[in-house]
Chain A
Amino acid sequence: MKVCYSVNGKKKEFEIKAGEVLLDVLRRNGYFEVKGNCYMGTCGACTVLIDGLPYTSCTMLAAKVDGSEITTIKGIGTLQKPHPLQKAFVEKGAVQCGFCTPGIILVAYALLKNNPDPTDDDIKKMLDGNLCRCTGYVQQIEAVKLAAKMLKKGDE
């Protein structure tokens, strides 16, 4: 069947199988920036924003979100024009292997949209579905706070 998403601001049609999850559709179509492996909603590496809210794309039926706006990590900033969150993650040493990073930054992005001034606790609660085995999270939490500061200063 066919569905239509707007991915990172570009509207596109996708041919999908009715029982497929969004992660598979995205990767098959070259959105390799969406990682993933557990297929149980337990690691968060496959996170994307669907109409602005973060979800694990491995547990989201592709057909269910027909017509939605989907944002991957490439939709919030690029190598040439990174988002403050991406810069802050680099600055704080919050990226090690980077496999979890796209998902984590997307969740943080959704957090900062609603809560420009999050506490440590807010950040911990929001990022609790994104496992990272490399960093131990401390620098990631610092990076989110740094990004909040950068955003407030208008560093877009």
Chain B
Amino acid sequence: MLKLKNVKSCFTPNSIQEAIDIHKKSGGKAVFVGGGLDITVFPNPAIEQLIFLDKLGLTYIRDDVGNIKIGATATITDVTKAPVMQNYLKGKVKIALTELASELLRNQITMGGSIARHHFYSDILPVIYALRGKIMVSDGELVEEFFVDDFYRNDLKVLMETHIVVGVHLNKYDDSFQFGSKRFVRNATDIALLNMAILAQIEEDIIKDVSISVGSRPGPAYRFEQGEAFLRGKKLTKELAEDFESFTKSNVDVTKDMHLCKEYRQHIASIYAKEMLLDFIGGVR
């Protein structure tokens, strides 16, 4: 089955500058290819040129001071296998990433491809949101850094005309931070219908800081800021977890589709919220 009928040429540039030049010249007819999963499964007939990013040296996962730096063409498998990820937030980020999709697809899906399209396949973005990742983009000369929330406030279509995603930086967090993530799937390799991740800093039972993300396809993932505000500064107790359950139920924003109604998604999000907090209590003590 010929997927991309109108593609006439392929490029494998050796520099970001070159990649962006090709893209600019194409008049909107070229696409960057990370893993190429999205591009082949949902082919766009308007595409005439493919720009492979494999030779840009962006397939790395670096253990830096204060940051884990992940290159755009690193795949999910690369990330989950990287030594630095094994104990990062007690290995929980790694687990979140190994659970999604399937081995074959984890080998193909790149971080860049997951970030550059803010689409409904929401498993990876909630993790990056909760971790307050920084998205690094470059126009070939300068590297700009966006806090993940700000990144998606851009008109991506416009930004991606002149930039590519070069990577994502994840803060390293000390032991006062805990991470949890949950996904609602119909069976194991399903693309989650709802998922949620929480990163919380807990000192002496007080939630010092927290970020919470929610994804519910087909809607885009987002930061559940109301929920964060609700929790911030409170004492982490069983009661709080229960209060937060009902808070989440009435305040979380989710979408619906043919598979799952809104009401159930809100319900499941609230249960997940509670469960993760309860896990944190266990983790603290």
Contacts and interface: CB of A to CB of B under 8 A. Distances in A.
Given A19-B6, A24-B1, A125 B104 contact: no
B186 to A, nearest CB: 13
Nearest to A62: B10
B103 A61 contact: no
Given A19-B7, A21-B40, A107-B103, A61 B108 contact: no
A19 B1 contact: no
A19 B98 contact: no
A55 B40 contact: no
Contacts of B36: 59-61, 64
* Chain A contact patch, size range: 20 to 34
Contacts of A47: 104
A44 B108 CA distance: 13
A1 interface: yes
- Residue from A55, A59, A130 with most neighbouring chain B CB atoms (10 Å): A59
A130 B189 CA distance: 11
Interface string A54-76: 11101111011010000000000
A138 B103 CA distance: 18
Contacts of A41: 37, 41, 104-105, 108
Contact of A64 (B5, B33, B105): B33
Contacts of A126: 103
Given A56-B104, A58-B40, A60-B40, A17 B50 contact: no
B109 to A, nearest CB: 9
B2 interface: yes
A66 B11 CA distance: 11
Interface residues of B, number: 33
B11 to A, nearest CB: 9
Given A128-B103, A129-B102, A129-B189, A24 B33 contact: no
A61 B40 contact: yes
Contacts of A55: 104, 107-108
B102 A44 contact: yes
Interface string B35-64: 011011101000100101010000000000
Nearest to B41: A40
Given A1-B10, A21-B3, A61 B105 contact: no
Contacts of A61: 4, 10, 33, 36, 39-40, 50, 52
A128 B8 CA distance: 35
B9 interface: yes
Contacts of A63: 10, 50, 52
A142 interface: no
B49 to A, nearest CB: 8
A54 B2 contact: no
Interface in B187-241: 188-189
Nearest to A38: B41
A90 interface: no
- Residue from B43, B47, B98, B107 with most neighbouring chain A CB atoms (10 Å): B107
Interface in A80-97: none
6 tightest A-B CB contacts, nearest first? A19-B4, A129-B102, A19-B7, A129-B104, A63-B10, A18-B7
Interface of B: 1-10, 12, 33, 36-37, 39-41, 43, 47, 50, 52, 54, 77, 98, 101-105, 107-108, 188-189
Given A1-B9, A44-B104, 18 more contacts: A18-B4, A19-B7, A24-B2, A40-B41, A41-B108, A44-B102, A56-B105, A59-B40, A59-B108, A61-B33, A61-B36, A61-B39, A61-B50, A63-B50, A125-B98, A127-B103, A128-B103, A129-B105
22 contacts: A17-B2, A17-B7, A18-B8, A19-B2, A19-B47, A24-B2, A39-B1, A41-B104, A41-B108, A47-B104, A54-B103, A56-B105, A59-B36, A60-B40, A61-B33, A61-B50, A61-B52, A63-B10, A125-B98, A128-B103, A128-B188, A129-B101
